[in-house]
A and B are shown apart, each in its own frame.
Chain A
Amino acid sequence: MSEEFKVEIVNPEKSFLYKENVTEVVIPAFEGEMGILKDHISIISFLKPGIIKVYSKSEENKYFVEDGIVEFKDNSLSILTSSIYNMSDLDRNKIDQIVKEAEKESNADNIDDQKRYLIDQKVEVLKNLSLN
């Protein structure tokens, strides 16, 4: 039997990615990274800022997300997110720009702890990115 399942990433404007032959997807779930293989139990979870890695037999794609919801059911994985970037489209300038905006937001007074945690997380992920 094949070890493949399908994944769909949608953002509000359009269907961002649709693949039927992925073997593994690693998502930055709210309580830690989570790898999803075929026949995973049905699950609904949140994303925190991080990298989604989509593996298929021939290639490996990486995407940066800021937030989102994941649903896995009957070997189809749906990821709903309002902000996603393809890693190959991101260059240092763009990353710096996002980091700067996030830091500005994090310094504002009127946000709660959970939000600050998420923003800090985002900055950290992005900073690690720009190193390598």
Chain B
Amino acid sequence: MASLDDLKKRISSVKSTQKITKAMKMVAAAKLRRAQENAEKGRPYSEKMNNIILNLSNGISDKENAPKLLVGTGEEKTHLCVVMTSDRGLCGGFNTNIIKKSKQYFQKILKENKILKIITVGSKGYDQLKRQYKENIIEKISFKDSKNINYFDADKVGKIIIDRFKKKEFDVCAIFYNKFKNVITQIPQEQQIIPLKSNEEKDTSSDSNYEFEPEEDEILSNLLPKNISTQIFKAMLENSASEQGSRMSAMDNATRNAGEMVDKLTIQYNRSRQAAITKELIEIISGAESL
């Protein structure tokens, strides 16, 4: 049985841990509000962009000469996966969920004897993937230094991807991130960005009679790279909201667990204190009796 002193020390150490987790929870809650706002504000842009591209690609007649970014290279040999995670830990299952989802995809690809290439965004993803897939990782990107998520960072990632695509380093590109649903639910997502896959079937055939200035294919070839950056930016926004949400609920749990532990330890401490007093009393009484 632990001595009274040991118990006292443990109680105080659990209490100080609780203080830390509580503070982290508060910080995450404050950041979450902002991140959530940003994610919601960012949605119209990427949705509009997607709509325009869908309208355009529906209207395009010459499928043969359509930009490669839209229709792909015609092969599916090499897959590039962009795994987007956070730079900081202590956020519950946030990173693990993305990694799990992407590992499933990796295994599927490797089983089909295709070539796998990985770009990690955020240092936690690299840490978790380097053990198993070290030789597949071709680049790791981290935005530890930038305080807020901004479009320029997303654009950088987008440019890297497009550069590599132009050098014919891969045929298919997918990004992995967590979609923010609410504070306790984040859904790991897999989204294919090259070639562009539209989620909805063509239902807007009637309003594809747009006028274009300049030509359709020129617009498309300009728009597609932008769309990739936009999709990545959207993923980054969703990710940051998810990260804060996930951290908040993880830290909330941790605080509650610490509280329970403190209660348990306090009871144990009081009991053993009582036992020690009783023992001393018995000793004194039996000593007095024997006289």
Q: Do A and B interact?
A: yes
**Residues of B contacting A11 in the complex (Cβ-Cβ under 8 angstroms):** 45, 151
- Beta-carbon nearest neighbor of A18 in chain B: B44
User: Which B residues, 33 to 75, have Cβ-Cβ distances below 8 Å to chain A?
Assistant: 38, 41-42, 44-46, 48-49, 51-52, 55-56
Contact call A69/B213, Cβ cutoff below 8 A? no
**How many inter-chain residue pairs (CB < 8 Å) link A and B?**
73
In the complex, the answer to whether A42 meets B213 with C-beta atoms within 8 Å is no
CB contact list, A1-57 vs B, under 8 A: 8, 10-15, 29-31, 41-46
For the complex, give the distance between the alpha carbons of A29 and B214 in Å.
9
**Given known contacts A10-B48, A12-B233, A80-B45, A43 and B151 CB-to-CB distance under 8 angstroms:** no
Minimum Cβ distance to chain A for residue B239 (Å): 15
Contact of B41 among A13, A29, A41, A46 (CB under 8 A): A13
Determine if A75 is an interface residue (Cβ-Cβ < 8 Å): no
User: In the complex the two chains form, what is the Cα distance from A43 to B59 in whole Å?
Assistant: 12
Which one of A15, A30, A42, A80 contacts B49 once the chains associate, using CB atoms below 8 Å? A80
**How many whole Å from A73's CB to the nearest CB in chain B?**
7
* Size class of the contact patch on chain A: 20 to 34
B38-A31 in contact (CB<8A): no
Contacts of A45 in B (CB 8 A): 212-214, 219
With known contacts A43-B211, A44-B210, A69–B151 Cβ distance under 8 A? no
CB of B45 within 8 A of CB of A31, answer no
Report which B residues bind A (CB closer than 8 A). 38, 41-42, 44-46, 48-49, 51-52, 55-56, 150-151, 154, 207, 209-214, 219, 222-223, 226, 230, 233
CB<8 Å pairs between A and B, sample of 15: A10-B48, A12-B151, A14-B41, A31-B214, A41-B211, A43-B210, A43-B212, A43-B213, A45-B212, A45-B219, A46-B213, A46-B214, A46-B219, A71-B48, A80-B52
Give me the 4 closest cross-chain CB pairs, A-B, nearest first. A14-B41, A45-B213, A12-B151, A43-B211
List the interface of chain A (C-beta within 8 A of B): 8, 10-15, 29-31, 41-46, 69, 71, 73, 78, 80, 82
